Structure 1
Amino acid sequence: MWKHLKTPPQTSTGRQALRRATGSVLYTYDLAPTKREGRRWGAYNVFTLWANDVHSLGNYAFAIGLFALGLNVWGILAAFALASVLLFLLLTLSGFMGHKTGVPFPVMSRIAFGIKGAKIPAAVRGIVAIAWFGIQTYLASTVLSALLVAMFPGLASLDENTLLGQSTLGWITFLALWAVQLVIVSYGMQMIRRYMAFAAPTTLITMCALAVWMFVRADASIALSIDAPLIGGEMWLQILQAAALWVVVYGTFVLNFCDFTRSAKSRASIVRGNVIGIPLNMLFFAGIVVVLSGAQFKLDGRVITSPTDIVRTIPNMALLAAASLALIALTVAVNLLANFVAPIYALIDLFPRKLDFRRAGVVSAVIGLVILPWNLYNSPIAVNYFLGGLGALLGPLFGVIMADYWLLRRSRVNVPDLYTENPQGEYHYRHGFNPRAVAAFLPGAAVAVVVALAPFFHAVAGFSWFVGAVLGAGLYAIVADRKAPIRDVDGESIAVAAE
């Protein structure tokens, strides 16, 4: 383990911490805290997270669906303005945790749940991410299949058979994109950072150009709503629901944002990147959504369900290919960010002696393949109950972790003790589990799942994440042990450069 250190610890306390840490299965190169000089993510890199992730195909489908549900243009803009403010606050709090400690989410979870109990939130986050990795790869593969058929009509015959729910062409395009993502991840976080820096401007320019093209086609005007828009209290309830659901979409990212901000140069870079990437970028996204949906509705009275519906109507083959490839590049970027990094760290935490970043990436990708994600996506029961139920668990996890870090500890963390199995360690609690955190999480999780899935609560199901987060934080604030000593010790003596 010494060979990974840039400088040896200079104090006796640091050397003792290093010996404790490096002798523990909890410490690996990939899970170790990043050193200050190894942090290369500036404001632009943080911005590219959101420039890529916000403009995903799934997000466009969700946002355009608001137009179909009856929200007018101003209602959609209001929903995204409210959601962006909430997300900016939540993600900045979460991001500061990563910058302060330099540790990834599975290690961050040890603060509240204990060195063994942390596997619970890491596993939940990882399972959700792997399922969505497969689904997003499938969505991108459908765009690639449509492009190939448009360019080479003879390939249409390969899209007519079915093998395990996919056509031959579907399997070819899915496996091709699956392999591309695996190659990118195999080069580590720095390659992901570089890919995002390339994909972000490409995505923004392409989607803006697509919106301008649609606006011109519609004679420089758009429909402000469908024929029977929501009004009054019903409209405001839908706006609040839409804003809440948008936060739920990012419930996964809110949890493990520290996986990225652990490499941030400063708090200021996180704030600047979030300001440009969340409120400004999300309103830009909302503007594109209302232009696309409003222009298409004015043209033929049809409510589209995805940007791919518009891309397929582009008459020029070169423009069609450029737009399709941009959507594919975008979806790959989203997958790398939201659905690949989290399970990689979770798997390393679960099997530290067997897996490193590259091997964990292979395992995540294989699982994302064998679950046949297109069957998940095409099954409302699977998406709503399995993924919806797991998603509802993210709220109370966030609530407990935030309450422990900000309210109880006031951001004071003993980083070396996050890597020790010594029973005297600060995060050993009871046999490695913090029963108080578990006791706060379980009721919050139960209520959140019921609100999310029970038909009786259908009208407020969109608020399940917030219900779980508030309950988890409130219960933990009540039952937490405030007499336990809380020390603030950084991890510089055991940090390695995450390159």
Structure 2
Amino acid sequence: MGTSAEKVVATPIQTQYKTGLDETLKPKSDKERTVGLLNYIFMWIGDGVNLGNMTLGASLVVAGMATLNIFQTFAAAVIAIGIISTVFALNDRLGYKTGIPYIVQLRMSFGVKGSIISSLCRGIPAIVWYGFQSWTGSTALNEIAKIVSGGAFDNIAICFIVLQVVQIVLSMYGFHAIKWVETLTSMVIMIALLYVFGVLLTSHSNVIAEKWVHAKGSWGLPFFSFIMMFMGNYAAIFLSAADYSRELKSGISNTKRGLLYFLPILIAYGLTLTIGAMLASVTGISNPVKAFAVVVNNSYITVFVSAFIVIGVVAVNMVANIIPPTYVITSLTKLKFKPAVVVTGLLALGSFPWVLVQDSSAKGLGLFILIYSAFLGPIVSILLIEYYILRKQKVNISDLYNENGPFAGYNPAAVIAMLVGAGAAFIKVDLAWIIGAVVAGITYILLMKYAFKDSKFKIGTIFEKEKTGSIKSVLQR
């Protein structure tokens, strides 16, 4: 499957770097990989049990009635998670085998300079998600402060800043901090949410049955739109799959890695989506934290649940929303990892996350997901086609780190295909991810085959012609 070629070039790479890149962007050796199977499972459970996913569930309830009933909701979820896990396992393979991060993987298709555009398409949504998660977490922290102070303190903005400072400090320790934070908190958060689920089920079952379980729903556009929204919610994460798989201990088969994504995401997403839809059905409030305060009319329990919501926010941000954009900033600015973490946190402070979700509606969050997934679908399609079809899983990793080598500059075929795919996606935003992915993939293959005949990016692909000697000679000058 091309693994031998990757192993040959991956080992000497460790001593060949003179690229000015921070150490965090160089390939991870087997000895440097410290995340085991159990930690990896807890990491994805912790990532899935978060307010963003709960808000996604709440977005199903519009004007007091769910747009999908419970069966349609979970059918859409299972379909989406199956696709997500498959793409995850496919796209994580290069990072898992060679230890390179996503920001370097991009160079394979887009080139050194072209990867700047595509990396920003991953980094910007992550920063906004970082800010959104922190803002919703700060509303939970504010609930705790109000109860503890007897109502004397009520300032979400201050809580927002405090929470950001804590996350910035923790994230400076990278995946070492993620591993213990996720393992410690994920199961405790699940227990807390199961309690809330029990309260909703025993005290408000009639309302939930009327507004969600027995809702007419739709098997049409709303159903497929929810699948796309669901996938869009994970699009940024599985796009940068290499950032996570490079930390996972070696020796795990592709099938097992697929299950390492599918099962935790299914469990965590199933619970959070359900609670989000149930809370919105009962209260009519799309912000889960405020809905919790209405449903759980007990200050002690509210403090307990809110505390673990805050912990959950920290956990999911450290997995999905801090490390990837930090790598992007490190690559673009040549900053070291820790200063880049601080910049990421400050940018998240200015992302205006409170605009995405109002008390009465979470449609802003759904629209945001659909819009950015219009760009992410094309990028992941291009990466998969490049690695599996055009290069047959054979990539010279040394070349990816050589800023003056065969991947220097930008690949016009990849950039054009990404823009064409994104443009097509906006024709029908509700189906943005799949439209963008399909159109960009087809466009990329056609451009690589028929356009830019002297492009150096064809070298090493199935479209490399016998007359590539002229291209190679140009590269050697």
- The alignment's TM-score, normalised by the length of structure 1, stands at 0.80
Of residues 68, 82, 85, the one that matches 2:82 is: 85
- Name the structure 1 match of 2:198: 212
Of residues 326, 330, 341 in structure 2, which corresponds to 1:344? 326
Q: Indicate whether 1:247 and 2:231 are aligned.
A: yes
2:428 pairs with 1:433: no
Letter in 2 for 1:263: E
Supply the distance in 1 between the matched residues of 2:86 and 2:100 (Cα, whole angstroms): 20
Name the residue aligned to 1:263. 247
Question: In structure 1, what is the equivalent of residue 148 of structure 2?
Answer: 151
Q: Which amino acid aligns with 1:260?
A: Y
In structure 2, distance between residues paired with 1:288 and 1:12:
43
Deviation per residue, 1:155-204 (Å, 9 max, x gap): 25xx4xxxxxxxxx222211110011011011222112221111211221
Query: Map of 1:172-321 to 2, 5 A cutoff?
Result: 172-218=158-204, 223=209, 225-226=211-212, 229-230=215-216, 234-266=218-250, 268=252, 271-272=255-256, 274-275=258-259, 277-279=261-263, 281-283=265-267, 285-287=269-271, 289-290=273-274, 293-294=277-278, 297=281, 302-312=283-293, 313-321=295-303
Q: 1:471 aligns with which of 432, 439, 448?
A: 439
Corresponding residue for 1:485? 460
Query: How many angstroms apart in 2 are the aligned matches of 1:375 and 1:239?
Result: 25
Check conservation: 1:130, 1:340, Cα contact below 8 A.
yes
What is the aligned partner in structure 2 of residue 59 from structure 1?
53
AA matched with 1:246: F
Cα RMSD after superposing both structures: 3.1
Q: Contact conserved, 2:141 with 2:307, CA < 8 A, in 1?
A: yes
| Distance in 2, Cα, partners of 1:443 & 1:307 | 37
Alignment size in residue pairs: 442
Separation in 2 of the partners of 1:318 and 1:480? 62
Segments of structure 1 that go 5 or more residues without pairing to the other structure are 1-10, 160-168, 452-456, 488-499
| 1:360 aligns to 2:335 (yes or no) | no
Write the deviation string for residues 139-167 of structure 1: whole angstroms up to 9, x where unpaired: 111111122212322325xx4xxxxxxxx
CA distance in 2, matches of 1:139, 1:189: 23
Q: Indicate conservation of the 8 Å contact 1:396/1:445, yes or no.
A: yes
Look up the match of 1:396.
378
1:5-154 equivalent positions in 2, closer than 5 A = 21-25=16-20, 27-67=21-61, 68-154=65-151
What SS does the aligned partner of 1:480 have? helix
How far the C-alpha of 1:417 sits from its partner, in A, is 1.1
Partner of 1:494: none
Structure-1 separation of matches of 2:278 and 2:386: 45
Q: How far apart, CA to CA, are the structure 2 residues paired with 1:269 and 1:318?
A: 46
Say which SS state the counterpart of residue 305 (structure 1) adopts. coil
In 1, distance between residues paired with 2:274 and 2:18? 56
CA contact (8 A) 1:144 1:324 kept: yes
Aligned to 1:414: 396
**1:335 partner letter:** N
Deviation at 1:433, TM superposition (A): 1.0
The corresponding residue for 1:6 is: none
User: 2: distance between equivalents of 1:363 and 1:288?
Assistant: 30
Check 1:12–1:62 CA distance in 2 against 1; reply closer, same or farther (3 A cut).
closer
Q: Does 1:442 align with 2:414?
A: no
Segment drifting more, 147-156 vs 360-369: 147-156
- In structure 1, the residue corresponding to 2:25 is in which secondary structure? coil
Farther-moved stretch of structure 1 (133-142 vs 312-321)? 312-321
Bigger mean CA deviation after superposition, 319-328 or 36-45: 36-45
Cα distance, 1:387 vs structure 2: 6.8
Match of 1:328 in 2: 310
Q: Is the 8 A contact 2:239 2:380 kept in 1?
A: yes
CA contact (8 A) 2:378 2:418 kept: yes
- Looking at structure 2, the residues matched to 202 and 271 of structure 1 have their Cα atoms a distance apart, in angstroms, of 28
Contact 2:130–2:322 (CA<8 Å) still a contact in 1? yes
CA pair 82-267 structure 1, distance change in 2 beyond 3 A: farther
Q: Is the 8 A contact 1:83 1:247 kept in 2?
A: yes
State the match for 2:4 in structure 1. Answer: none
TM-score, normalised on structure 2? 0.83
The Cα of 1:230 is off from its aligned counterpart by 2.7
Tell me the alpha carbon deviations over residues 423-468 of structure 1, each in whole angstroms, 9 at most, x when there is no partner. Answer: xx3323xxx21122122222112222x23xxxxx4xxx22101111
Letter in 2 for 1:331: V
Distance 1:152 1:269, change over 3 A: farther
Q: CA deviation at 1:345?
A: 0.2
**Is the partner of 1:118 in helix, strand or coil?**
helix
Could you say what secondary structure the match of 2:306 adopts? helix
Quick one: which amino acid aligns to residue 431 of structure 2? F
Equivalents in 2 of 1:472, 1:293: separation in Å? 34
Q: Any conservation in 2 of the 1:88–1:275 contact (CA below 8 Å)?
A: yes
| Equivalent pair of 2:131/2:353 in contact (CA under 8 Å) | yes
Q: Specify whether residues 155 and 274 from structure 1 end up closer, same or farther in structure 2 by C-alpha distance, changes over 3 A only.
A: farther
> Residues of 2 paired with 1:292 and 1:31: CA distance?
37
- C-alpha contact 2:19 2:402 (8 A) present in aligned 1: yes
Query: Does the aligned pair in 1 maintain the 2:60–2:66 contact within 8 Å?
Result: yes
Partner Cα distance (1:228, 1:13) in 2: 55
Confirm or deny: 8 A CA contact 1:129 1:343 kept in the other structure. yes
Q: CA deviation at 1:264?
A: 1.3
In structure 2, distance between residues paired with 1:332 and 1:49: 12
Secondary structure at the counterpart of residue 235 of structure 1: coil
TM-aligned CA distance change 1:306 to 1:278, over 3 Å: farther
**Partners of 1:215 and 1:292 within 8 A in 2:** no
1:36 to 1:185, Cα distance in 2 relative to 1, 3 A: same
SS in 2 for 1:445: helix
Name the CA distance, whole Å, in 2 between partners of 1:410 and 1:174.
Answer: 47
Amino acid at match of 1:340: I
- Does the 8 A contact of 1:223 with 1:295 survive in 2? no
